[in-house]
Amino acid sequence: MYSRLVLAGLLLSVPVARAEQLTFPLTVDFALLDRAVEQQLGAQSGGRATLWGTPGGCRSLALEQLHFAAAEERLRLRARGRGRLGFGLLGLCLAPISWDGYLETLATPIIGPDWRLRFRDIQSTLYDSAGKRPIIAGRLWELAKGRVESEMTAFAFDLAPPIDEARAVVRACGAPREAAPVLEALTTMHPVAVHVVEEGVKVEVGVELPASARAALPPASEPGLTGEEAESLEAALDRWDGFLVFVVKDLGLLDRDPAVRDQLLDLLLDSRERLVATLAAPAEATGDPVRALFLSTWERLRAIVHEAAVHGALQDRALHYATFLAAGDALAALDAAGPSLGLEISADGLRRLARILQPEFSGDPLAYSETPDATLRELFGFHEPLEGPPEPPTSHWWSPARPALAAEPIAQLDPLRRRLDRWVPTEGDLDGYRDAVDRLLGSVVTATAEVNRIDQRFATLYRDLAKATAWQESCWRQFVRKDGNVTFLLSTSGDIGIMQVNRRVWRGFFDLQRLEWDIAYNAGAGAEILAQLLARHGSREAERGLEDVARATYSAYNGGPDAYRRYRAARVPAAQRAIDRAFRDKYRAMAGGQALDFVLCIAEWPGGGRTRLSTTAAGSTPRWSARSRSSCATLSMTARQASIASRPRARPV
């Protein structure tokens, strides 16, 4: 079985002969056909269908384990079968003709203007358990052949509901003032051709574009966004994120396969990274702000649905996902036709698309909330920062339970948290501040490593990775002074505190208010993220060496899961390359015990004699770029690494 759902590649074609027609696919997965034919044959629970006679009787023919597959341009239905032809007498079956083997039926799929998929040119054959044509069972087959081929000929799979939903989603995305071309195109939607493909039966759906829509509109120059437009942009992106979370949770709850869930997490985080980038440069976001996110995400989402289908996770939800993909493909295809159609990936369209998956859902599938989401945490295995160690497993004489080592470090955090609360160090207390932060990070890392069961190969690496990340991200600062008042460190792109945890990327995973005002919680959230990325992405680079494990984990932390190989990619923007190299230097200094006082990124320490690390004024807030989440000390780190590495070992930092 190759698949269990409708899977459609985003295949947009514009035939040479008729430039006004575009097509998009609607693929009926083999698993859907399996269940539909079982219903047609009257299969009971367990999938067994009695085609003739009495179940288990002296005169009967039954099929089970029905599976469709591709046979070049035709369909092959293969089923396990058993039959008997005899006479009952006094409870006995006399002189039976029996068959125990396989049935194979070949058929050609067709579709008519009524959107019903049917079978024609049906040919059926019986085989014994060894795969050979039985001789005796021929008479039995002749008796049942009429019933089998009659049922197959009468079979019809109705594709009108998915097509109607596709029309409804596209209609909801038509801009009110420019909807006429879209509405006109929707009336022309028709089946073009049917093909048997590896996943199932693909129906090409054609749409005729009106002549007025075929001409591309000239690109218009866009002025800078006003305050009201910027707020509208942010609201639109929030709705998109709400939609994606809704879909990710729905699919994640259906499929417990770790590989599928990892893909869903990567999809969500990478989409949010792009969302943050759009908000960081709103002047570059013209037109529909959700369009680029939708198009870049849709193809990946379809591939993940396919993976879930392979694992049989969709079951009775398969038709919902079939319709969902068909509607999304229609929207993407028409959107690609050009701006003259007046389409927008609107809130109404996204709501309609989401409700295809859960028609009974009564809330708003685009709802945006900043409160922690227990479902997201459960799906992806994230822990509440500093929640304590997991319950130890039941011990056996051959496998003793692991001790709860995280409890003691967590207990040590309260006095450190209180001491560091709203502490902005001055020149006179830098040593004490640095040492307190060092102890806090050490306790947090120990506790988080135990909760996440960090591989022992990476135990030391993980400690140095977390401390170097805090150095890179914030120069070990949670609080700063602004206009004479103490406040939490916040970058222009929404990165918070000592670990610069982005409030949009990690929405739903952590408590945003605690990220702002609780340095221990912020450090714990960053350590949790690093632990998750280390297990999912950094560990993939282990064959290259431990340093590359750390660098890959940080690249994913800084740029999203897709960026985990950025640190060694050949073509990387100069700013991102500088970030990765600066982290490498910080990590080496931390791992070598040579970080010294530079973790605070001060320009000059009292008493003199210490080399400057950055150009920021002593005790001031580093400047963060919108995308790098790193201080200007990051960019100067490479040139100063030799100076740091040559210094004697100081107290552990």
Greater confidence, 287 or 520? 520
344 secondary structure, DSSP code? -
Tell me: pLDDT of 118 over 60: yes
Q: Which long-range contacts (CB under 8 A, 24 or more apart) does 47-52 make?
A: 51/144, 51/147, 51/148, 51/151, 52/83, 52/143, 52/144, 52/147
Compute the average pLDDT of residues 170-190. 82
* Residue ranges of domains in the chain: 22-156, 160-193+201-210+231-380, 407-645
DSSP letters for 178-204: G-HHHHHHHTT-EEEEEEE-SSEEEEE
The neighbour count for residue 247, using CB atoms within 10 Å, is: 24
Span 368-410, pLDDT tens digits: 999 999 999 999 999 999 875 444 444 444 444 444 445 566 6
Helices 318-336, 30-40: crossing angle, 10 deg rounding: 130
Identify the residue with better confidence: 485 or 2: 485
23 versus 627: the higher-pLDDT residue is: 23
Residue 216 in this model has a pLDDT that exceeds 80 = no
User: Does this model's pTM top 0.85?
Assistant: no
What are the two backbone dihedrals, phi and then psi, of residue 374, each rounded to the nearest 5 degrees?
Answer: -60, -30
CA distances from 370 to 114, 180, 507, 583, 609 (A): 46, 38, 6, 30, 47
Using CA atoms of 280, 284, 289, 294 in order, give the dihedral in degrees to the nearest 10: -90
For residue 528, with 0-12 CB atoms within 10 Å meaning exposed, 13-18 middle and 19 or more buried, which class applies?
Answer: buried
Distance, in Å, from the CA atom of 44 to the CA atom of 157, rounded to the nearest integer, reads 19
* Average pLDDT across the chain, whole number: 81
The DSSP annotation for 361-378 comes to --S-TT----S--HHHHH
CA-to-CA distance for 450 and 528, rounded, in angstroms?
11
CB distance 562 to 625 below 8 Å: no
Q: What pLDDT was estimated at residue 582?
A: 95
128 pLDDT above the threshold of 90: no
Higher pLDDT, 412 or 161: 161
What are the beta bridge partners of residue 11? none
DSSP string, 289-319: TTHHHHHHHHHHHHHHHHHHHHTT--GGGHH
Residue 357 pLDDT exceeds 80:
yes
pLDDT (tens digit, 9 = 90+) per residue, 236-247?
999 999 999 999
Determine contact, residues 79/67, Cβ cutoff 8 Å.
Answer: yes
274 vs 335, more confident: 274
In whole angstroms, how far apart are CA 42 and each of 5, 35, 68, 134, 631? 22, 11, 17, 26, 68
Q: Which amino acid is residue 644, in one-letter code? A: I
Exposure string of 133-161, with b = 16+ CB inside 10 Å and e = fewer, is ebeebeebbebbeeebbebbeebbbebee
Q: Please tell me the predicted confidence (pLDDT) of residue 283.
A: 57
The DSSP string of 513-565 is: HHHHH-HHHHHHHHHHHHHHHHHHTGGGGGGG-HHHHHHHHHHHHHH-GGGTT
